[in-house]
Amino acid sequence: MQQQTITKEPLLSSPIKRLGLELAAVSEAAAIASAEWIGAGKKIEADAAATNAMRERLNHMPMEGIVVIGEGELDEAPMLYIGERLGAGDGPQVDIAVDPLEGTSLVADGLDNSLSVIALAPRGCLLHAPDTYMEKLAVGPEAAGKIDITAPISYNLKQVAKALGKDVRELTVMIQNRPRHSMAIEEIRAAGAKVALFQEGDVSCSIATAMRASSVDMFYGIGGAPEGVVSAVALHCLGGELQGRLLPENKEQADRCLLMGVKPGISLYMNDFIRSDDCLFAATGITDSMLLSGVRRTNTGFSVHTMLCTGLDKQVYFLRNHSAGSRTHLTVIS
């Protein structure tokens, strides 16, 4: 995997793509704000800090944005709630999918794998759905188009192994360590594949399937729908694939799905999650993860590590901001 230092110019083309570096600054602000609460045992305060910082930065961006999937339902402030309008009011009209702090318990307990994540696309191009559970299956570029979320896991393991030129016994599947996944874990191991368990933070785990340096071959699990949408945008930029199915826990959630035009339980594919190449994804590490370093305090402020994915040119940029408000290093992975 080749790395090279680049200037800002490659990020500039469409009105939405021009927002790339500003979107990176949004996730950075949220990460820095929540980092103050790492290890403090207060996940609500950490989440509120990230949310408030993200909202403030978003409202200064030259865009007309609306949250189509986020942490809370309509009017559930201080969350970035579904239907909330953000931006300075000028610039492109965009959909926003957001999770200001993915891994609230991780930050509270001082554990790895927490991120601040956000995705943008033109108005009407991101899945509009409630904050409910979603079954998710993700793979990298080589296996894209080969998976089927309605099929048994053993079938998908064979498909991924064939696409990667591996034996099933060589595959590693990331899956959250939860009782609801016990049968899936048994099926994966019975097929001969390896299971890598994680506690929280399925965005980084699903994206890892599309990163060449990662040992993750497939991601499976039932988790939050907002994380599914932002992961799908990142994987769209990276050439991977995510499939999903909304799994509401009660009639009220099921009714909300139908109100938003998504039938619970039906298979959702990449063109359901994201219907435009003109999209952006940004994630900043709060604590260390397999993708990004966490926030570090320095003599001049904070050091942050951000991943910015662009859909138009299918690039992933890793940005390091080593001082408050001054980005000093930008690399592109090709």
Domain boundaries, the chain: 3-124+278-333, 133-273
- pTM (two decimals): 0.92
pLDDT band per the 50, 70, 90 thresholds, residue 223: very high
The rounded percent of the chain whose pLDDT value lies above 70 is 90
Query: Of the candidates 310, 303, 308, which has an alpha carbon nearest to the alpha carbon of residue 330?
Result: 308
The rounded percent of the chain whose pLDDT value lies above 90 is 84
Q: What pLDDT is stored for residue 298 in this prediction?
A: 87
pLDDT band per the 50, 70, 90 thresholds, residue 323: low
Q: Give the model confidence (pLDDT) of 129-177 as tens digits.
A: 888 999 999 999 999 999 999 999 999 999 999 999 999 999 999 999 9
Q: What pLDDT is stored for residue 114 in this prediction?
A: 97
**Average pLDDT score over the chain:** 91
CATH 3.90.180.10 fits 133-273, yes or no: no
Q: Give the model confidence (pLDDT) of 136-145 as tens digits.
A: 999 999 999 9
Fold classification of 3-124+278-333 is Fructose-1,6-Bisphosphatase; Chain A, domain 1 (3.30.540)
pLDDT band per the 50, 70, 90 thresholds, residue 327: low
Does 10 have pLDDT greater than 60?
no
Q: What pLDDT is stored for residue 14 in this prediction?
A: 87
